[in-house]
Copies of this chain bind each other. A is one copy, B any other.
Amino acid sequence: VILTVTLNAALDATYFIEGDLNPGETHRVCAIAERAGGKGVNVARVLHQLGEDVIATGLVGGRTGDHVQSLLDAEGVSAAFVRIAGESRRTTVVVAASSATGFWEPGPAVTGAEWADFRAGFERLLARADTVVLSGSLPPGIPVEAYADLIRLARAAEVPTLLDADGDALRFGIAAGPAVVVPNAAELAELSSQPVDGIASAERAGRSALTMGGQAVVATLGVRGVVLIEPGRCLRAWPLHPVAGNPTGAGDACVAGLARTVGRPWAERLSEAVALGAAAAAVPTAGAVDLPTYQQQRLHVALEEC
């Protein structure tokens, strides 16, 4: 079982309006799409779509949390969320004729007791887990060492962990030695305090990140593909036929690719990540892949030692 952790799960709403978004005016929403969201939930949904055995855990609360849970149930994604008293956040994206504009609610406040509950449940779930994926932001009240804490618990249970976070959550998390850290260019640049604007700079920044505790870094660079940096090795993979489309959620699909190939050779893992990232770009909403695109892309990934 692959266990995904989403501590700041969300209800992702998409509002479709006619014409443009005009600040200062009122717009009628023509159609609404709602999905369970948060980066770990997106990873879980992609894995479920690929037929993997996955459990989504994390924190949900309030009516919005109920809704998140019911949407996951309807999709058939196994979920084991811990209930909190606060209200899970909503994200709203307004899709207009020529723009997509986002509004991100802040996450709910989480108490120390709720975090302790989650931590205890996580330990129990670890007994069934082959791989753990830790993705996304930490809601208010969660200690900044949360990911480090969970990574240590997983290591003690000999379960490999993938970490996709940013800022302090990433900085503290990497120190606990996750199996793979999966930053994008901006996250890697911030973590390493070095500019990341290409393959060579990603390798340099990745080497710097390895000294912080990670066992391997896979930097995701959009249509330029991904770069693996581990001690003594740098391997790049990229799509020969990049998909122009929706970049939101492509990183989550890459993480899903790495999570389902734990123990396999890096060439295979990176190819999987690249193909799933491209297949995610082919779908207008985050947290899903286009399966025919995935099958096609899988055959057209370039690999090069850097």
Q: Mark A270-287, 1 if CB is under 8 A from B, else 0.
A: 000000000000000000
Asked whether A100 is an interface residue with its Cβ less than 8 Å from the other chain, the reply is yes
* Separation of A63 and B71 alpha carbons in the complex (Å): 13
By the criterion CB–CB under 8 Å, are A29 and B105 in contact?
Answer: yes
Q: Which of B21, B63, B105 contacts A32 (CB 8 A)?
A: B105
Q: How far is the CA of A295 from the CA of B128 in the complex (A)?
A: 67
Contact A25 B101 (CB under 8 A): yes
Given contacts A63-B63, A63-B66, A66-B63, contact A104 B23 (CB under 8 A): no
**Are A99 and B29 within 8 A (Cβ)?**
no
A27 contacts partner chain B, Cβ-Cβ < 8 Å: yes
A32 to B21, CA, bound (A): 21
A96 contacts partner chain B, Cβ-Cβ < 8 Å: yes
Inter-chain contact A27/B99, CB cutoff 8 Å: no
Q: Are A104 and B66 in contact (CB under 8 A)?
A: no
CB-CB under 8 A from A25, the residues of chain B are 101-102
Q: Are B63 and A24 in contact (CB under 8 A)?
A: no
Interchain CA distance A92-B17 in the complex, whole Å: 13
Q: Is the CB of A99 within 8 A of B24?
A: yes
A23 to chain B, nearest CB (A): 4
Which listed residue, B26, B28, B103, B106, touches A106 by the CB 8 Å rule? B28
Which bucket holds chain A's interface residue count? 20 to 34
Q: How far is the CA of A94 from the CA of B23 in the complex (A)?
A: 9
Query: Which of chain B's residues have a CB closer than 8 A to the CB of A100?
Result: 24
Residues of B within 8 A of A32 (CB): 105-106
Tell me if A15 counts as interface (CB < 8 A to partner B). yes
Whether the Cβ atoms of A101 and B63 lie closer than 8 Å is no
Cα separation A67 to B24 with both chains bound (whole Å): 27
Nearest-Cβ distance from residue A137 to partner chain B, whole angstroms: 11
A173 to chain B, nearest CB (A): 22
A291 nearest CB across to chain B (Å): 28
Bound-state CA distance A67–B27 (Å) is: 23
Digit string of A1-34 for contact with B (CB within 8 Å is 1, else 0)?
0000000000000010100111111111110100
Bound-state Cα–Cα, A96 to B105, Å: 14
28 A-B residue pairings within 8 Å (CB atoms): A15-B103, A15-B105, A17-B103, A20-B23, A21-B23, A21-B101, A23-B23, A23-B96, A23-B99, A24-B99, A24-B100, A25-B101, A25-B102, A26-B101, A26-B102, A26-B103, A27-B102, A27-B104, A28-B104, A29-B106, A30-B106, A32-B105, A63-B63, A63-B64, A63-B66, A63-B67, A92-B92, A92-B103
Residues of A that sit less than 8 Å from B by CB: 15, 17, 20-30, 32, 63-64, 66-67, 92, 94, 96, 99-106
